Amino acid sequence: MKNSKKFDSVIRLRGVRENCLNNFDVDIPIGGLTVVCGPSGSGKTTLVINTLFAESQRRFIETVGTRRRGKFSLWKRPDLDSIENLPPVATASEKVNLNQTLAQLCGMDDALALAFSRFAVPICPHCGIEVPPGGAASAAEYFERQYSGCRAQIAFVPSAAISEYAQRGFTRWLIERDSKVELVDGNELRETPPGGGYVYGGRVLPALVADNVRSPETTPHSSLLTPNSIHVLADRLAFRPGDSRTKESFELAFTESGGKAVVFIETPEGTVKRYAGQGRTCPQCGQEFSDNAVERFYLSELPEEPSERDKILAYQLDGKNLLEWYKMSADRITTRNFKIAQALQDAGLGYMSLSRKAETMSGGQIRRAAMASMFAGDLVNMLYVFDEPMDGVPPENCPALLSALLRLRDRGNTVVVADNDASLIQAADCVVELRETPPEGEYVFGGRVLPALVADNVRSPEITPHSSLLTPNSLTISSGKITAITGPAGSGKSVLLAQLAGKPVSSDWKRTITGLDAFEDVILVERKLERKPPRGCVATYLGIWDPVRAELGATPEAQARGFTPGDFSLMSGKGRCPQCKGEGVLTIDLEYLPEIEMVCSECMGERFQKEYLQPRFRGLNAVEILRLTVRDAFSFFRNIRSVQLPLTSLIDIGLERLELGQPIKTLSAGEKSRLDLAKALQKIYKQKTLFLLDEPSAGLHDSELDKLIETFRRLTAYGHTVVMIENNPWMIQQSDVELRLG
């Protein structure tokens, strides 16, 4: 064992005999990051999970009342002499309900439900307007703002006899008939027995209720008259901001009607009918929306009945309904302070949609989803134990995950991980090295240099003499097939892909490869850390914008103003906004805080100067074209082959929902990888092309995998060959050949 610094207290384990551990003694510093490393079978998981975690759980069960812990009475105590100073423990397990979504695994479903209950607003599906909060104060504020200065009559639907209302001081009524509203004296109205209607001026008026709609069967006299309704007048007034009378009038109407009011407003265009309620009520159509109860906003609780489902999906948070939030990936969630979104990115799962099912994820991904909920939490004085947290994490994501583990420690917790990752070992406060058959009671303190181990089954030839059995030194690429390169992180998948592309690789990893002479061209699509220039977007990256700006420059409006196609360039054109340089946003340096982006105040995010938005191609200007999705753009640019060809490639690989103007820097790693693939698909001029792809399925929804594999099958049908690094089980199953490393 190696300690890099001194700690005040430790978890003291003595005589651990669980599984392969033979009277093992060790001290784990409280408040530190401890890494337990060693070869497979040496007892890493036994110490971390089967001993530390199991004993802490057992002790927790002992705190439960005797009656309730009956079924736990046989909980096995780990085989050891003693554990002292053991804090409460938490871990991330891959044993979950496979029907659970990523959002459920990491706790984002709770965060979303709470956010929706507090901040979401319903958008009326019939009227398309935001529904204001319920209550008299909200109704008064809404109508004073929307109809300031207009005269109005606030009324409610009657639910009692005329005489009862007269006794309470309501003597004026409103008759709504033939799109007109007539004010009448209650003394001139009388109920009709037995029809339940009203008589006014010798005519029978049906007693219509809240929605003012009754069928002929329930209203016997409705066939005698045109549709009409009766309302009790609560007050006549003019809407003026800050006038307390408005609020008092709504309170009166709500009290008398069970929380509903009808408002007739005199506008320059004529009298309009509006609605208000104690609960959320659409002002235009009167549809009511239930309160924002937390339990209503769980994806798993969405009702199957369409009308009820639509009521829940009417609620929007930052312009998106619940389903739209679940379709997003964590690295696309830029609104709200969702700490879990950042935690998912730290855990290397930022590219996954929140609705992705556990059954499509690897065990390592499931564990890291649970880890994300811990990273985003606020617990302190806990013991967090993790079994191989780096398993399956791409190298570029390892620093973020390591930083998250260190932050978990720095928050006031103890972190113990079983892993051989070299970066973890280097950053640890304490390293416990286990051997396959450790001597009884042995542990080593201080100064010992540990081998830079990576994944257990991937070692250098010097460390693992039989590595040639794990990673074959020679292989043959099958022409005209789909080959999946599989294996754990660090097994050399990316190195092999680089060698196939003709890049220089270390002699320790170099293999003899046959079959490459069958190909006339090689196209490599990698997942890279480096980003395109900030102004790069989907349209410019794929070369779509060049023919588009040529069409804009050829319009009569552009030619009349002397505009050229070059003026519409986002990189250097005269038409781009001079303040944001065509980005639509400004990056603000806050010195000691992270940079932030703000919408450009000059062009308001439209990227171009106003006069350059006047030319329109097929009715759309430059910014409107950039807002088209790939799918919509395909239809819009009919008969323009130079635009439709790259769009076809994007549709084929499942990127049809991207907007043409979406910045490259906002794409997930999986989306960027597929964008590169789409770009590569445009360059096929020869037969026998070898496509080399790095995890092409990353970030895809299950429904999109069919499209991707179908694209590969079309390539092989045309005589091309596909070799891909892949971890998705379904994609591996669909391939013709699996080449497993490690």
149 and 248, same domain (yes or no)? yes
- The model's confidence at residue 531, banded by pLDDT at 50, 70 and 90, is very low
Highest mean pLDDT among 443-447, 628-632, 702-706: 628-632
**Is residue 329 domain-resident?**
no
Closest CA relative to residue 712, chosen from 671, 667, 665, 680: 680
d(C-alpha 246, C-alpha 249), whole Å: 5
416 and 506, same domain (yes or no)? no
What is the residue type of 289? Answer: F
**Is residue 559 domain-resident?**
no
Length of the chain: 742
pTM for this model (two decimals): 0.53
**Is residue 67 domain-resident?**
yes
175 and 263, same domain (yes or no)? yes
63 and 166, same domain (yes or no)? no
pLDDT digits (tens, 9 = 90+) for 590-634: 454 445 567 788 898 899 999 999 999 999 999 999 999 999 999
DSSP letter for each residue of 276-339: EESSEE-TTT--EE----GGGG-GGG--SSHHHHHHHHTEEBTTB-HHHHHHSBGGG--SS--H
526 and 667, same domain (yes or no)? yes
User: Which 3 state secondary structure label does DSSP give 69?
Assistant: coil
* Overall average pLDDT of the 471-484 stretch: 79
CATH number, domain containing residue 42: 3.40.50.300
* Overall average pLDDT of the 212-223 stretch: 36
**Is the predicted pLDDT of residue 97 greater than 90, yes or no?**
no
* Overall average pLDDT of the 468-492 stretch: 70
52 and 179, same domain (yes or no)? no
Q: What is the pLDDT of residue 225?
A: 30
259 and 199, same domain (yes or no)? yes
The domain containing residue 494 runs over which residues? 459-530+663-742
- The model's confidence at residue 437, banded by pLDDT at 50, 70 and 90, is very low
259 and 389, same domain (yes or no)? no
**Is residue 564 domain-resident?**
no
Q: Which tops the pLDDT comparison, 235 or 358?
A: 235
**Is residue 229 domain-resident?**
yes
Q: Read off the tokens for 572.
A: 């250097």
CATH number, domain containing residue 181: 3.30.190.20
d(C-alpha 72, C-alpha 90), whole Å: 18
* Domain endpoint, select from 262, 289, 316: 289
**Is residue 333 domain-resident?**
no
428 and 464, same domain (yes or no)? no
* Domain endpoint, select from 418, 433, 448: 433
Q: Read off the tokens for 201.
A: 């001026």
Q: How far is CA 658 from the centre of its chain?
A: 15
User: How many domains is the chain partitioned into structurally?
Assistant: 3
50 and 163, same domain (yes or no)? no
**Is residue 704 domain-resident?**
yes
Q: What is the pLDDT of residue 50?
A: 84
Q: What is the pLDDT of residue 685?
A: 63
* Domain endpoint, select from 249, 264, 289: 289
415 and 483, same domain (yes or no)? no
Closest CA relative to residue 79, chosen from 28, 21, 40, 1: 21
**Is residue 18 domain-resident?**
yes
* Mean pLDDT taken over the chain: 80
Q: What is the pLDDT of residue 592?
A: 43
Mean pLDDT check: name the lowest of 139-143, 189-193, 507-511, 653-657. 189-193
396 and 268, same domain (yes or no)? no
d(C-alpha 368, C-alpha 366), whole Å: 5
Highest mean pLDDT among 492-496, 533-537, 668-672: 492-496
Mean pLDDT check: name the lowest of 243-247, 250-254, 438-442, 641-645. 438-442
Q: Read off the tokens for 47.
A: 């110490």
